[in-house]
Chain A
Amino acid sequence: MNTLILLLATGLGLGGLYFLVASGLSLIYGLMGVLNFAHGSFLTLGAFVGLAAANTVGADTWPGLALGLVVGSLTGAAAAALTELGLIRPLYDRHIEQVLVTVGLSLASVALFEGIWGPNPRNVTRTDWLGSTTDVLGASVPNTAFLNVLAGAAVLGGIVAFLKFTRYGLIIRAGVENRAMVTALGIDVRRAFTVVFAVGGAAAGLGGVLATQSLNYVSPHMGASLLIFAFIVTVIGGMGSLPGAAVASVVVAVLQQLANYYLNNTGDVIVVLLLALVLLVRPSGLMGRPA
């Protein structure tokens, strides 16, 4: 029972991290039809720059962590917005080329990060609380899990509110349905593209800093490994569906944790099998619109 609670709690925490990456992927794909392979790079960059900012105050203090989270998000947002403006926009409506350029950027940026920060993972310092556990019904749950769940829920709520209550949100929701008609109403939909990239990049940057707290290290490759699962989550949830991504994040992460423990470290395999099953039975995903 204790083990199950622990697995569920860590699964939820991991799900929070997946969602931080998948939410951006899902928004970007929903509006622009672009699978953004560079999304992991926004996460990694956010993590490194966020931690550097945290270190200026002290990464083992709460103000340091708060600063790191803010700077990490802003870094992710800026990197994503620049990517959209510099690489995606010139290839307007050429989806294959847009995807290819994000693949190129992801490969190049990892090499760049290795050049700057070295190829090996570096340990990070955490606040005492984040480095310890809390007893939940007898299970010792790592405190990072609570922070990740909280962050995932906050980002979900924030994006939902943004989509519902702002003009850009309105444009994005309409654009996901019918982009041509949005432009035919006199709206420059390209600005909304930059906005979704920035919002997605911010969530990824935040996820990057949080991931360093859970993993207890920072590495040039952390973005790529999280991105794989975020893609799976996005497909299972239904490409372009934010609630779908939220549900799938939790399902995938919990399943992964359970399988790793009870089925001899087969979590990754089980997740891929789940992906295959969803693609066979319900190709549009849990909450996606039928193609």
Chain B
Amino acid sequence: MRPRQARPPEDQASPAVLEVRALAARIAGQEVVHDVSFEVPATGVTAMLGRNGVGKTSTLKAVLGLVERTGEVLLDGVRVDAERTDRIVRRGVGYVPEDREVFAGLTVAENLRLAERRERGTADEGAAERRALVDDLFPELVRRAGQRAGTLSGGQQQMVSLARALLNENRILLVDEPTKGLAPKIVGEVAEALATAAQTVPILLVEQNLQVVERLAERVIVIDAGRVVHTGPAGELLGDPDAVQRLLGVSTTSTTEAEVTR
């Protein structure tokens, strides 16, 4: 029994890097994700949308095994749902959690050093390259290397959180609400960084800001009440105000794209 979502047509050529089948997640004994199945193709940004509290964050955590879960999780076609979180991550899953979760008592440099995964016995030629990319994307972090992460602004903490994921060679990034609570200018910077990252690694992005979704995402997965209720090309959904209103409970008319692209 393998419940599957229909794939959008443009993904036929691109095999799924992440496949989730009949995923259910429980937090404190309560089932918050019921029967979620979806695929994330190996390129571009797939946005996971939905109202507050419908189980998007829990779905990401369930993929990583950070919450109690049942169902199947396949990374590059390999079942990983029986593995510990750190093993799954070392297979190449970068996680940028909701609310950043930087280590407040550690310096910026220590946060990044901790995050750099070391594969035993293999020389990683890409490490210096990725380090240069991160330094290039977030020059602020280079200047603040010795500062405690807890004393950074929300935007700077988000940069640390993104940098932690980008320092490693990943098969996929799971990015949870990276623009939440940030000033519009910083939202633009974060979106820019994600766009750059998306050129080399596929991203599953949970995001409330529809302008960011519009800018970055090719596909959307809409979750409601712990279940997938819609999948398809991002443009198709966002171009249909009625569908946005119905599925996400928000209106697209009051905002402008200029806010994120400046």
Contact = CB atoms under 8 A, between A and B. Distances in A.
Q: Pick the most buried of A178, A186, A187, A188: most chain B CB atoms within 10 A of its CB.
A: A186
B228 interface: no
Contacts of A189: 86
* Chain A interface category by residue count: 10 to 19
A174 B85 contact: no
Interface of A is mostly: helix
Interface residues of B, number: 22
Interface string A168-207: 0011011001101111111111000000000000000000
A177 B103 CA distance: 7
A188 B117 CA distance: 11
Contacts of B192: none
Contacts of A180: 66, 85
Given A174-B103, A174-B106, A188-B86, A181 B168 contact: no
Nearest to B67: A180
Contact of A170 (B64, B104, B110): B110
Contacts of A181: 97, 101, 103
B101 to A, nearest CB: 5
A189 B95 CA distance: 17
A182 B115 CA distance: 8
B89 A170 contact: no
Nearest to A175: B103
Contacts of B117: 185-186
B113 interface: yes
Given A177-B104, A177-B105, A178-B103, A183 B86 contact: yes
Interface of B: 64, 66, 84-87, 89-90, 95, 97, 101, 103-106, 110, 113-115, 117, 164, 168
6 contacts: A173-B106, A178-B101, A181-B101, A183-B85, A185-B95, A186-B89
Interface of A: 170-171, 173-174, 177-178, 180-189
In the complex, the 7 A-B pairs of residues with the closest C-beta atoms, listed nearest first: A186-B89, A186-B90, A183-B85, A174-B103, A183-B86, A181-B101, A186-B117
